[in-house]
A = this chain, B = another copy of it.
């Protein structure tokens, strides 16, 4: 399978490297890392064992790559205004586009520009950060849940899940992608925002009684908002929330991507992770006061 990676950050580089190691041809669209990766290859520092890819197919433009079998989108959502132009040259008649981006609204953009049938979405439970150019750190988790944007079962989603799994990325095909997205938001909405706002990693946050209480309360808001979206089956918050908090407590001082974005002065993914979910909740008459306040505070911090 020829895979084109658009948005080769901590996530795109890690999954691209895993697929490449498993024998797929992977082409990376690169900007700042172009020199380092083409010159010295890519090193993955992983909890499952480090590995090194001496040859990396890095390109400066999507046109040089051309149509691929699978476009893997790992672009930060604050760059979504560039996404379609970056993806278009990679899309041929048989191309699948799989966005592993955070939050909501990404599949919709791709479906509008190409066709809904082209688009799959995936939720990556991945703790990874970029190191110096040519290095990516895989710190924990890594599994993917993917499914058709149009919903339902499909052979290709199961095939893709198998390819990822064979490559060492536990992957499951789901029939209700929207439910999977909301389940991921139950993690992203509290932890990305609170860690970014307070500049505290997830373990510091949960180590504080007020932090743990607040994270749980925000999670409850997200469960209620998700369950108002006519999911195939409601999310059972009473079981799901403690499990997510327990899983997060097992992390090793993980810094969510938004916390690192803020530390490094990058924009924050407020639209995909906060504003679109808030609008979808409001449309269903569900109040998310603490989620809204977190978004307001992050907006203030970003535009100080």
Cα-based distance from A180 to B179 in the complex (angstroms): 48
Residues in chain B near residue A208, CB distance under 8 A: 299-300, 303-304
Cα-based distance from A304 to B299 in the complex (angstroms): 22
The answer to the question of A211 belonging to the interface, with a C-beta cut-off of 8 Å to chain B, is: yes
> Do residues A304 and B210 form an inter-chain contact, with CB atoms below 8 A?
no
The answer to the question of A46 belonging to the interface, with a C-beta cut-off of 8 Å to chain B, is: no
Task: Evaluate whether A200 and B304 lie within 8 angstroms (CB atoms) in the complex, with A289-B289, A290-B290 already known.
Answer: yes
> Do residues B198 and A297 form an inter-chain contact, with CB atoms below 8 A?
yes
Q: Interface range on chain A: under 10, 10 to 19, 20 to 34, or 35 or more? A: 20 to 34
Cα-based distance from A297 to B298 in the complex (angstroms): 13
> Do residues B300 and A211 form an inter-chain contact, with CB atoms below 8 A?
yes
The answer to the question of A126 belonging to the interface, with a C-beta cut-off of 8 Å to chain B, is: no
The answer to the question of A293 belonging to the interface, with a C-beta cut-off of 8 Å to chain B, is: yes
The answer to the question of A197 belonging to the interface, with a C-beta cut-off of 8 Å to chain B, is: yes
The answer to the question of A250 belonging to the interface, with a C-beta cut-off of 8 Å to chain B, is: no
Residue pairs across A and B with Cβ atoms less than 8 A apart, 16 shown, are: A197-B297, A198-B301, A198-B304, A200-B304, A204-B304, A210-B299, A211-B300, A213-B296, A214-B296, A214-B300, A217-B293, A289-B289, A289-B290, A290-B290, A293-B294, A297-B297
